[in-house]
Amino acid sequence: MYTFVKKILDSESFIPHEEINRLLSLTKNPDKKYIEEILEKSLNKERLDLSETAALLNAENPELVEMIFTAAKSLKEKIYGNRIVLFAPLYIGNECINNCSYCGFRSENKQVIRKTLTDEELTNELFALTSKGHKRLIVVFGEHPVYSPEYIAKTIEKIYSYRNGNGEIRRVNVNAAPQTVEGYKTIRNAGIGTFQIFQETYHLPTYKKYHKAGPKSSYTYRLFGLDRAMIAGIDDVGIGALFGLYDWKFEVMGLMCHTRHLEERFGVGPHTISFPRIEPAVGTPLTEKPPYAVSDYDFKRLVAIIRLSVPYTGLILTAREKVQLRDEVIKLGVSQIDAGSSIGVGSYAQKDQEIVRKSQFILGDTRTLDEVIKELAMEGYIPSFCTACYRAGRTGQHFMEFAIPGFVKEFCTPNALLTFKEYLIDYATNETKLIGEKLIEKELLKIPDSRRETVRKMLVNIEKGERDVRL
């Protein structure tokens, strides 16, 4: 399936620490002309090289930072349009044999309540999620023998088989421990969407310091986790770093090195990049004062720089962040957000006083799904639950073949409108529905004449009761 230029052993890190530090040192105080050249390259939809990303990271002058912000907004619009894809996290279980200093689920934390959903509780969670209109999930597991590949696969199958009137889950992404190639194959056969692994920190000394025990203490086994996924045939993978453990500029460079590695080895980079910051967690002192806390200003910078560095990669902004900051950061190139999220195990169906002790961290944005959708629509964004590319086989290298010529915008804008229409009819409050219908009519006028009538007919079919309509 893949052609390998060279054999890469799992003992060989592809994160060149010395090169990263050298580039960050060489590109200090970049001049305006060089930044303009880099931004022009990015706006031409070309991935930046490491030295160019380093220069953007070192652009401290407020005028240059504003140029970066403006370019990121423009690039996102060029490639993805004004749609925002929505999903929800579903925590299946928080048993864990790792002892990571920053994590509420770490093995030595005696304040957390350990919980794994039963089949009945999973059904209750799905009822709660689909009753609100969710169509896309990322299921989250601790790292523990109970969460085997077979267990993960069965969980995915149960989720896909669930029906609640017009409610169903059409895409299940997974955030779980790295697997063997055979384990990934088992999960792939269940119809997984994206498999997501965060390296947490790409800085090896820092990684060793905060990953004290358990399988996750192996830096390279985790680093090559998504290589094994792609070898197993999972061609949609997601990477991420937990910002606050080490210098944010180094971590961005690490994400870019990871992207470069996957592109060179498999011909396609990550489908998504995530950039969560450390947030408070019960019984976890390190989270109260992160070693390298990232300010809101620098957080906006790093999101914009990642967008410019990898034009075609989806960027995920989570509900860890507070509402006002989320509203600002969305404009800088984000393509996916979670909404209406609850991260206690079993907390969608049953709210109790112990939710925080079943949670990995504390959320910053607790708005309902409908509140988020209404506010997105008021700002001119199209809320999207689209899963069409995944289900039509437009993933991995096929996705890039469609994305690079601009077909993502051609397919995704109509499909976003179709899934938004479903939501408005089936789940929206009256206020959200009025705002949403006006937005759909406005967006229809932007669709080329050759396709507009087709989309309009599909919208009418949805009004008549048809569901899962897509291009």
Domain of 272, CATH number, reads: 3.20.20.70
Q: Which residue segment(s) compose the domain that 436 sits in? A: 395-463
Q: Indicate whether 365 and 445 sit together in one domain.
A: no
- Clarify whether residues 270 and 418 are in a common domain: no
Q: 265 and 121, same structural domain?
A: yes
Residue 277 covered by a domain: yes
Kindly state whether residue 67 falls inside one of the protein's structural domains. no
The low-confidence residues of the chain, meaning pLDDT below 50, are: 1-9
3 state DSSP class of 114: coil
Query: Would you state the pLDDT for residue 408?
Result: 60
Is residue 357 located within the same domain as residue 449?
no
Domain boundary among 322, 355, 388: 388
Identify the three-state secondary structure at position 92.
Answer: strand
Query: Do residues 372 and 340 lie in contact, with contact meaning Cβ atoms separated by under 8 Å?
Result: yes
The count of structural domains within the chain is: 2
Strand partners, 197: 239
Reading phi first (left if > 0) and then psi (alpha if -120 to 50, else beta), residue 133 is in: left
pTM: 0.94
Residue 438 lies in a domain: yes
pLDDT value of position 1: 33
Q: Alpha carbon 290 to chain centroid distance?
A: 22
The answer to whether 238 and 195 are in contact (CB under 8 A) is yes
Same domain, residue pair 175 and 300: yes
Give domain status of residue 5, yes or no. Answer: no
Q: Is 434 domain-assigned?
A: yes
322 with 432, same domain? no
- Please count the other Cβ atoms lying within 10 Å of the Cβ belonging to residue 44: 10
d(CA 212, CA 210) in angstroms, rounded, equals 6
**What is the per-residue pLDDT for 9?**
46
Largest CA distance in the chain: 62
The answer to whether residue 31 is domain-embedded is no
Q: Which helix (H) or strand (E) holds 172?
A: strand 171-175
Based on the fold, state whether residues 171 and 293 are members of the same structural domain: yes
Residue 37 included in any domain: no
Q: Which two tokens stand for residue 336?
A: 């996916």
Are 130 and 267 in a shared domain? Answer: yes
Residues 6+ apart with CB under 8 A from 424: 432, 433, 436, 437, 440
- Residue 39: inside a domain: no
- Among 388, 419, 439, give the residue marking a domain's end: 388
Domain final residue pick, 342, 372, 388: 388
166 with 124, same domain? Answer: yes
Q: Are residues 130 and 249 in the same domain?
A: yes
User: Same domain for 267 and 364?
Assistant: yes
Q: Is-contact 14 222, C-beta < 8 A?
A: no
Dist CA 433 CA 368 (whole Å): 15
For residue 451, report the phi and psi dihedrals to the nearest 5 degrees: -115, -20
Q: How far is CA 97 from CA 135, 215, 256, 454, in A?
A: 31, 8, 29, 53
Same domain, 442 and 352: no
